[in-house]
Structure 1
């Protein structure tokens, strides 16, 4: 089994647990971490002994509390589009279209790219203290890893609009009511619940599981044009004064003062 700088890999019978291990940074996503995730997912999906994957975060505070903003604070629109396209192709769509079930065990904050990572999974289980949100508009951005599409598919247009346009957080209980998460459990029951779901799936036909995932995904319709639109709009945000103001405010730990109307 490969070793990774930012991940811990643990096997339990026919299940693999991938733990995002940047606890000091609340498991924030950056380019090396996404590269690790791509390799780890590819390895798990190519391993015939693995029947399902649990994705979770290290520590009690965060699943993934967003992206590492300092990494893209100076990006221009073309770099922003490339960032979204690369992440979507190598990680988020890889999970979404995986022929094996991937369950997100949301052990704390799932914000921005972290919520998008959970949304890409086939099933989501949340600890009762978890908080979920897409705060990108506070940075002069929009979600760029499928959030505008997958949240709308799960929660509906009205809920998705409110969450994305306000940038606010919701509780695990609210996420369950919205249809975003399948189950809410106490923190010490989280991994056992996720493993129990996967164990039940592992008893079924692998060929049928793959076929069912493809069929369910096909029901979503023409999502590719929506994802492509999101990537273009995400990239375009990097060329606006609002993006510079949002990032500057975040790094300075102050409230942003957005003035532009373009």
Structure 2
């Protein structure tokens, strides 16, 4: 694969059920099936689904349910036995995502997970999250960070994100990111699809990916901060064998290592926007 294909492989977990898309389940499931047949299907990861809608999902997709990879959103008090029952009945649940930053709860949930289900624990992007991150690592689970929302104040600052990435890299703790990552590069965008939507400067998923590479391969917070803040498309060069930002570059092999060992993916309510933007930049 080329460098960009390596970076994008399975990158986008499709979260069409969630804001700002907020689609009904049938539409989201149909979109996911369509994306699996599209030209850039290799960039598609799992379908994100709330546990309490698993039965509805099964009634919609029918015999296709065992072929669709799912990441399940669940509450902190979810009974993992219920999860195991769905898996036993044929649902292909590969990961569980829970908003939880209490170390003892993280340890308890991870201990009771069904076999072969990876847990992602969403923690806030600030220094006080370190005990939770250490508990996630000790439990053999992964972290989840939220990069935006439907209002400007939901977007974390560049310095805070850079420090969180450095902390994750120092812990060698794999993570996924969610929300506000529809566009490759940092830019001012509408935060919803409403005509009177608020706007904000959204983080770019290419900025995030490369910043993760910086800290994972030994760079410092200052480098990651500069990269996260980059808004100039001319600062980037995408070739068959590497991704370059100014004087930094990463080979396809390095990007494969990054994706395998550290930056696990992105939850996005849009699959079409990221792909369209990459095509417009000439990177796909």
Give me the TM-score of the superposition, normalised by structure 1. 0.26
More helix by share: 1
More strand by share: 2
